[in-house]
Structures are given as structure tokens and as C-alpha cells.
Structure 1
Amino acid sequence: MSERVCSYDELEQDTALRVVIGGTPIAVVKDGNGDVFAIGDTCTHGDISLAEGFVEDDTLECWAHGSKFSLRTGRPLTLPAYQPVPVFKVTVEGGDVLVDPTPVPASELPA
């Protein structure tokens, strides 16, 4: 079941917001096009909050060691990370951003 995490207007473009749903840290990102994504907030390389990183196009870069993660698939696009982070379904309804804290199965992610 999706949970409201913030309003759409609270999200700044090209910035990530850290939220926690049921103990799961999630980075919610509004990219430069205004699209909203949600991925696991913990870098798989170094237990660092990805929400403190840098958004560029459809990636979120860990500020500590530079691994970039796809906002669409959670896959790392650069080393040193090599394990993906989970991706969560996001919907925007009536100006509210809703996130389902159940990770999207890998089989349902873009190739």
C-alpha cells in the first residue's frame, strides 16, 4: 500500500529527499523533467545515504565514492558499487507523492 511521503511541490528539481517508510530508507527524486522516482537510499558500496548525493539526468550519484545509480532500474552505472538498490513505485495524486514501500521486482524493471 502506497504512503504519502511529501507534496510534489516540496520536491526540488534535481534533488533527492530521504524518507523512511516502515523502517525502509528511500530516496525520492524529482529529475530535471519533473518526473519523480524512488530508490533505496543506502548505497550498496558504502552504507551512505544516496539522498545526500547528486542528481543528474536519470541518475543519483553517491557523494562519498561516486557510484551512480539509475533512477529507473536501481542498477549501478559506475564503480565502485556493483549491486543494485531497490526501486519503488511512485504515483503523484492531487499534488501528493505516494510511494509503495514494496520493491518493484527486477523482472518488472526496464531492461
Structure 2
Amino acid sequence: MSATRVCALSDLEQDTALRVEVDGVAIAVVLDASGEVHAIGDTCTHGDISLAEGFVDGDTLECWAHGSAFSLRTGKPLNLPAYEPVPVFEVTIDGDDVLIDPNVKKDI
């Protein structure tokens, strides 16, 4: 499968997560303060909570329910109660299109 357009780059608000779904895979897409776009699994590994409803701080996305923060670069949790990472996906920008293939996880 190839990458799918999930949104326009202009649809993303800086330091705000956007939940998208590609082939049944929920993904949180984030435009960070430095202008880099990240895509991580949208479900907190501590609970069945959408990370896109959480808070972006630098290169982390914090779950609003229990406070676990996940690295946007590695998917690793940076504090408890979560201890399992979320997947991180490759992002391709083509003009104003943000493309993600949920079958291609980023090498960390």
C-alpha cells in the first residue's frame, strides 16, 4: 500500500494534535513549534484514550487522562503510568498534502 493523504498541511495548527484514521489505524498528526510534522499512534498505551485530545509540549504529546507524555520522535513514554511506546509513522509532505502510510513505521 502507498501513503494516503490525511490532511492539508494548512489544516494543522501548531502545537495541536489532529486525529486521523487510515485503513482503521488511528493516528495523531502534530505540527510542532519548529514546523516539523509528526505522526504517532493515537491511542495511549496506558488506557484506551485518544492522544489527539491531549496536550502538545515541544516534541511530546501528553495524554489528558493520566498525564503520560509520549515522544513525537520515538513514541516512547517519558513518564508513568504508560510504559509501552506508541508507533511512530513516516510522514511525507507533498506540496500542501500530508501523506502517511500506516504500514510504514519510522525506524527509531
TM-score using structure 1 length: 0.93
Q: Which runs of 5+ in 1 are unaligned?
A: none
CA drift of 1:104 comes to 1.6
Alignment of 1:52-71 (within 5 A): 52-71=53-72
- In structure 1, C-alpha distance between the alignment counterparts of 2:8 and 2:40, rounded to whole Å: 17
SS at match of 1:79: coil
- In structure 2, C-alpha distance between the alignment counterparts of 1:103 and 1:95, rounded to whole Å: 21
CA drift of 1:100 comes to 1.2
Q: Which runs of 5+ in 2 are unaligned?
A: none
CA drift of 1:102 comes to 1.3
Q: Corresponding residue for 1:97?
A: 98
Residue 8, structure 1, aligned to residue 5, structure 2: no
Number of paired residues?
107
- In structure 2, C-alpha distance between the alignment counterparts of 1:102 and 1:74, rounded to whole Å: 16
Letter matched to residue 80 of structure 2: L
- In structure 1, C-alpha distance between the alignment counterparts of 2:33 and 2:20, rounded to whole Å: 20
- In structure 2, C-alpha distance between the alignment counterparts of 1:103 and 1:82, rounded to whole Å: 23
Which contiguous aligned blocks of 4+ residues in structure 1 show a shift greater than 6 angstroms? none
CA drift of 1:88 comes to 0.5
Letter matched to residue 99 of structure 2: L
Report the aligned-residue RMSD.
Answer: 0.9
Q: Corresponding residue for 1:36?
A: 37
SS at match of 1:9: helix
SS at match of 1:51: helix
Letter matched to residue 67 of structure 1: S
CA drift of 1:103 comes to 4.4
SS at match of 1:28: strand
Q: Deviations over 1:41-99 (max 9, x none)?
A: 00000110000000011000000000000000000001100000001100111111001
TM-score using structure 2 length: 0.96
Among the aligned pairs, what percent are the same residue? 68
